[in-house]
Amino acid sequence: MRRRGVLLFDHNQISLRQVAELLERIGYGPAISLAEKDPHSTSKLNRALLIKTGVAGFAAVNIMLFSLPSYFAGEVDAHTTLSPLFRWASLALSLPVLLYSASEYFKSALTGLRRRLINIDVPIALGMLVLFSRSAYEVVAGSGAGYFDSFAGLVFFLLLGRYFKQKTFHRLSFDRDFKSYFPAAVLRLTGAGEESTPIGKLSVGDRVLIRNQELIPADARLAKGNASIDYSFVTGESAPVEVANGEKLLAGGRQLGGAIVIEVTKQVSESYLTGLWSSAVFGAHERSQITNLANRVSKYFTAAVLALAAVAGAYWLTTDAGKAADAVTAVLIVACPCALALSSPFTLGTGLRLLANRGFFLKSDAALESLAQIDSIVFDKTGTLADSRKTDIKVVGDTLSARERQLLASLAHQSVHPLSRQIVAAMGESDVLAVSDFHEELGLGTSGVIDGHQVRLGRRGWVAPDIDNVEVPERGVLFSVDGKVAGTLQLQDSYREGLTETVEQLAGHYSLAVISGDTEREQERLSKIFNDDITFAFRQSPHEKLSFIERLIEKGRKVLMVGDGLNDAGALRAATVGVAVAEDEAAFAPASDAILEGTRLRNLPRILSFAHSCRAVIILSFAFSFIYNLIGLSFAVAGKLSPLLSAILMPTSSITVVAFAVLMTRWQARRAGLA
């Protein structure tokens, strides 16, 4: 009897492609990605935050309804029968807001104080505590209705901003290690045949079958077959490497061609690839972030508020002790920087969402802030500036005749290899001739008979092994007709559309550099795209790329690193902001601060400009917040803060700042061409 079951996979640890490969090999099904049931990696936290926000919102609405008589009836209402009941009901509704909804702000403030840091939550928590305490005192003493409506409304808006920000960060997982790039299992060869084995259980001496386009999971040696290994994702070198039987193979390389058999020489955890994660930049679980602007302002803001409260209390104490207490508490209540705290999450959250719609996915709001401080940009070449999915075809020497182009296109048309598809497109021939005796040797070339002519296309050893006077350029293939070389095709990197214009827009504002594990063969072409001040560094190992970035950081530069492969992983983590280029948002990319769709690289100047605009919007929002605080403080210091004025001023300031932040951010995005 066949057993049925369900396999659950964590979408942040394994891709759907890897799930499909594993199920194909071991025969289980169906598979359900956790992301399909819940696309948020922090869904429980989001639900808890949503409940807290709902509690605060429910309390705020009901307390406002209870407070309406006090707003408009004044002292007359103080003696009505229902007024005390409404006040005690408001107090009861405020308790869960204080103890549950606002708890994270108190915890954050206490944590900051224990570390001798005054973050933005310290003055917020102080304002909440004083606001609730004074309101509770008025209700218990029977002297007033307090400010419970303002208290609940304040907590609601703050939590709404936090929830809005959290919802922005659910789409991608940015922190990955080398295991994320490998299939869940490989085919290990045993005496009984092929056996699906998780890569973590591979041992030295195991023989593994590697098929076309599959990754080598551990350092090994070639035991059988013709190996043509693409190491571009590991070293940055885009040209495939031919490996003979018995020679060494590095983990992370991709086989291009027929199936090969490898013999594992090192454990997966001890392979070359793991060295990319041995640097100290990967030691911490979470990379330290730049302290945001709100936290920096809050240190001085808190000190100023406390000083003002002390001065107001001392002034009124000489004439009226009751008014002195009212003035001190009123200052602490009104000066609560709720609008200050709301401006950053709504501005940055809106910015992150708008950028995501343009194929740029940021890990955090701090990363968006950091983008505004960048002064240097370092690009990887292969897969970043150059589109790894495309290749430019250039005929070296004599131009092919129309007949030769037709023969070449007809032969290439028979192959499904991506390079053959590109050759067909480059020849521009639509009239394809019939091919007989077609043969393809993966990793070497193709051959066939067309109109009685023997035609070959591929590597020198396949096309013309006995001809010595033919020079083949790096990354070149030969084309022969009846044993005579008819032409040489040179394969060149295909640079992304709009790259020249992108570089021109960046060159006047940033210091630019290109570092690559590839050779210098493309330097001449790149020099025509970049200006004279560009810094080139070729043949760079992953560790040398990391060192390059670290040297710039040591000089005080704010560095944006843009790369795509495992060989860029260390450099991406060491940079001020690391941007991983991926061909689609679901593809694996190195650990980074952001992921940029490859086709959207031309948007980089606009993205950086928009980051500056977001910072400007936050500063303007701070200015609005301070204006509201000054207005409120003028009434508080004078001892004239009434419940009605408090109920109007505090929510109005929050709503105005939120509306300003969202609308201004959207307008700046339209100005930058991102919305």
- pLDDT tens-digit map of 55-91: 998 998 888 888 776 665 554 444 456 778 888 999 9
Amino acid 274: pLDDT: 65
Is the pLDDT at 378 greater than 90? The verdict is yes
**pLDDT above 90 (res 23):** no
Q: Per-residue confidence at 204, pLDDT binned at 50, 70, 90?
A: very high
pLDDT at position 549: 93
pLDDT at 322 over 90: no
- Average predicted confidence (pLDDT) for the chain: 78
User: Three-class SS of residue 640?
Assistant: coil
Between 355 and 46, where is the model more confident?
355
Least confident of 165-179, 189-203, 346-360, 580-594: 165-179
What is the rounded distance in angstroms from the CA atom of residue 80 to the CA atom of residue 69? 10
Phi and psi, residue 397, nearest 5°: 80, -135
| Residue 100 DSSP one-character state | I
579's enclosing H/E stretch is strand 577-582
pLDDT of residue 512: 94
What pLDDT shows up at residue 603? Answer: 93
Angle 144-126-124 from CA coordinates, rounded to 5°: 105
Q: How far is CA 222 from CA 195, 196, 216, in A?
A: 19, 20, 11
pLDDT for position 520: 83
Tokens of 150: 């303002």
**Where, residue-wise, is CATH 3.40.1110.10 in the chain?**
389-495
Backbone angles phi, psi at 456, to 5 degrees: -135, 150
Percent pLDDT > 70 in the chain is 76
Token pair, residue 107, equals 């915890």
pLDDT of residue 237: 64
Identify the residue whose tokens are 């007024």: 83
* pLDDT for the residue numbered 41: 42
**CATH for 389-495 (2.130.10.10, 3.40.1110.10, 3.30.450.20, 3.30.1390.20):** 3.40.1110.10
- The residues, ordered by sequence, that sit 6+ positions from 666 with a Cβ below 8 Å of its Cβ are 350, 354, 675
Is there a contact between 183 and 208 (Cβ–Cβ < 8 Å)?
no
In the chain, ranges of CATH 3.40.50.1000 domains: 366-387+496-604
> What element of type H or E holds 403?
helix 402-412
Q: Say yes or no: domain 183-216+219-265 is CATH 2.70.150.10.
A: yes
At residue 613, the pLDDT reads 92
Going by pLDDT thresholds of 50, 70 and 90, the confidence category of residue 281 is low
What's this model's pTM, rounded to 2 decimal places?
Answer: 0.68
DSSP 409-469: HHHHTT--SHHHHHHHHHHT---PPP-EEEEEETTTEEEEEETTEEEEEE-HHHH-TT--S
User: Which pLDDT tens digit goes with each residue over 283-300?
Assistant: 544 443 434 556 666 677
Using the CB atoms, write b or e for 226-236: b if 16+ within 10 Å: bbbbbbbbbbb
Instruction: Identify whether the C-beta of residue 233 lies closer than 8 Å to the C-beta of residue 566.
Output: yes
Q: Does domain 366-387+496-604 have CATH number 3.40.50.1000?
A: yes
Q: How confident is the model at residue 455 (pLDDT cuts 50, 70, 90)?
A: very high
Strand order through the sheet with 254-255: 241-243, 227-230, 254-255
pLDDT above 80 for 461: no
Residue 213 half-sphere exposure toward CB, CA atoms < 13 A: 3
Domain with CATH 2.70.150.10 in the chain: 183-216+219-265
Confidence of residue 178 (pLDDT cuts 50, 70, 90): low
The CA dihedral of 240, 243, 248, 252, to the nearest 10 degrees, is 30
